[in-house]
Chains A and B, each alone.
Chain A
């Protein structure tokens, strides 16, 4: 009996480890063996132990730095975890995150905001002309490469693939039409600012196109690349994070448009609406077939915690 109940649990542990490593490798914490920089984030990810007593923050001219026992928290590349003064609440959230780790052994998923902010800071460092090329390569800090990878998401974007109307008695397609089409239209006008001619985004309509890939035109790609080029490195890191979470280029665009200094009214969405857009198909599948334990419920929270975290990092006074 005991054997029977234990086996799935042990199998899950292994699966979980694999999954979390795959995720953490792309963002923030560097889990590779060869990175032995003595930084706080590395130390935490290697020993998985808490080694400090007091978490606080120090304000200087450069911004607000999060400190552990009065030593600054450092990112995987060894930069101090510092946020500018127009991101006061972000500093508070970071401090709260370090002060309230639920268990003393730290898991890669326990510090999501730190992970995004670290990526932002390290990308900014990587873009400096005097940065070490090896370190830049290690975190994948080449801006052109990041943009190219992100651009591929625009072809197979969640918000651009519409289901056949036969599925779910047409309910899913109706919801997609209602939610996605206005966003696509607004995104087209938004991206047109980065091109000489009006941009049109190719949609994969399962009714018309059936099963085939979706490819954006060269003009659209050029406009999207120009948009990515116009982002600050901080915003690019947030954008990257959002796209990887939602599997959607459009969601990244939506999130940044909402947090920009002058928000675009026709792209206005709350983070809950954004998460719903990204998981619309799952919502209907769960409604029809039921919720799968350890999958749907975990993913539901995962998408929401990550998009909210990205939104917090993107916001600026």
Chain B
């Protein structure tokens, strides 16, 4: 195998592990973002409905109604938006920089080549193990990812109480 082919193989392996671990974190990032957006839009919607109820001018009421519909549509779109289906998450963000760093200026002597190949393997090893580790920690400590509301609910349930719905 030529030097370039060796580096190309390591580069591909690194890219695969990067994409796999990044996809997982991107999905949860997008989900969190969506949640925030939905909360914001719902708040605006409630305000609009209130304004609409107190408005006497029928023309203005109509515009309010239209705006409310638009926001409802946006919320529905966001709810239907499932990042798991996103195809863009199967690609690495900025491959050109990585490719340039990995696949240019190969060292001349064999020892340095081996060392750099080993370095690339270390990086993909790190990324893979870090992802697996985080998955395990999350699995065994479900409380880490729970939000405050869920924690309160479960704490109440432990003593046989139920948090009132609001």
Interface of A with B (CB < 8 Å)? 2-3, 6-7, 9-10, 12-13, 16, 88-89, 92-93, 96, 99-104, 107, 109-110, 112-113, 258-259, 262-263, 270-272, 293-294, 297-298, 301-302, 304-305, 308-309, 311-312, 315, 317
Question: By the criterion CB–CB under 8 Å, are B122 and A104 in contact?
Answer: no
Task: Please provide the chain B residues from 119 to 166 with a CB less than 8 Å away from any CB of chain A in the complex.
Answer: 119-123, 125-127, 129-130, 132-134, 136-137, 140-145, 154, 157-158
Question: By the criterion CB–CB under 8 Å, are A104 and B125 in contact?
Answer: no
Question: By the criterion CB–CB under 8 Å, are B22 and A9 in contact?
Answer: no
Task: Please provide the chain B residues from 1 to 35 with a CB less than 8 Å away from any CB of chain A in the complex.
Answer: 18, 21-22, 24-26, 28-29, 32
Not counting A13-B144, A270-B121, A271-B125, a sample of 4 additional A-B residue pairs whose C-beta atoms are within 8 angstroms of each other reads A16-B141, A103-B28, A294-B140, A298-B137
Contact A109 to B137, CB < 8 A, known contacts A93-B126, A96-B22, A304-B129: yes
Cα of A102 to Cα of B101 in the assembled complex, Å: 25
CB<8 Å pairs between A and B, sample of 10: A7-B158, A12-B140, A13-B144, A92-B98, A92-B101, A102-B28, A107-B137, A298-B140, A301-B132, A315-B122
Question: By the criterion CB–CB under 8 Å, are A2 and B157 in contact?
Answer: yes
Interface pairs A-B: 6 shortest CB-CB: A308-B126, A305-B129, A301-B133, A13-B143, A102-B25, A304-B129
Question: By the criterion CB–CB under 8 Å, are B111 and A309 in contact?
Answer: no
Q: B115 contacts the other chain (Cβ, under 8 Å)?
A: yes
Question: By the criterion CB–CB under 8 Å, are B18 and A96 in contact?
Answer: yes
Task: Give A59 Cβ to nearest chain B Cβ, in Å.
Answer: 12
Contact A304 to B28, CB < 8 A, known contacts A103-B145, A110-B134, A298-B136: no
Question: By the criterion CB–CB under 8 Å, are B25 and A312 in contact?
Answer: no
Question: By the criterion CB–CB under 8 Å, are A301 and B129 in contact?
Answer: yes
Complex contacts, A101 vs chain B, CB 8 Å: 25, 29
Closest to A107 in B: B144
Complex contacts, B51 vs chain A, CB 8 Å: none
Q: B81 contacts the other chain (Cβ, under 8 Å)?
A: no
Cα of A304 to Cα of B32 in the assembled complex, Å: 30
Question: By the criterion CB–CB under 8 Å, are A312 and B123 in contact?
Answer: yes
Contact digits for B104-127, partner A, Cβ 8 Å, 1 yes 0 no: 000100010001101111110111
Question: By the criterion CB–CB under 8 Å, are B122 and A13 in contact?
Answer: no
Question: By the criterion CB–CB under 8 Å, are B134 and A109 in contact?
Answer: yes
Cα of A100 to Cα of B29 in the assembled complex, Å: 8
Q: B97 contacts the other chain (Cβ, under 8 Å)?
A: yes
Complex contacts, A12 vs chain B, CB 8 Å: 140-141, 143
Contact A89 to B136, CB < 8 A, known contacts A3-B158, A16-B141, A308-B122: no
Cα of A308 to Cα of B93 in the assembled complex, Å: 23
Cα of A2 to Cα of B159 in the assembled complex, Å: 11
With a 10 A CB-CB cut-off, give which of A2, A102, A293 has the most chain B CB atoms. Answer: A102
Task: Give B159 Cβ to nearest chain A Cβ, in Å.
Answer: 9
Task: Give B75 Cβ to nearest chain A Cβ, in Å.
Answer: 21
Closest to A271 in B: B122
Closest to B130 in A: A305
Cα of A270 to Cα of B125 in the assembled complex, Å: 11
Complex contacts, A16 vs chain B, CB 8 Å: 137, 140-141, 144
Question: By the criterion CB–CB under 8 Å, are B137 and A102 in contact?
Answer: no
Task: Please provide the chain B residues from 27 to 64 with a CB less than 8 Å away from any CB of chain A in the complex.
Answer: 28-29, 32
Complex contacts, B127 vs chain A, CB 8 Å: 96
Question: By the criterion CB–CB under 8 Å, are B133 and A298 in contact?
Answer: yes
Cα of A311 to Cα of B126 in the assembled complex, Å: 9
- Report which of B29, B97, B102, B125 forms a contact with A308, defined as CB distance below 8 A: B125
Complex contacts, A7 vs chain B, CB 8 Å: 158
Question: By the criterion CB–CB under 8 Å, are A305 and B119 in contact?
Answer: no
Cα of A302 to Cα of B29 in the assembled complex, Å: 24
Contact digits for B73-102, partner A, Cβ 8 Å, 1 yes 0 no: 000000000000000000001000110011
Task: Give B59 Cβ to nearest chain A Cβ, in Å.
Answer: 40
Cα of A302 to Cα of B136 in the assembled complex, Å: 10
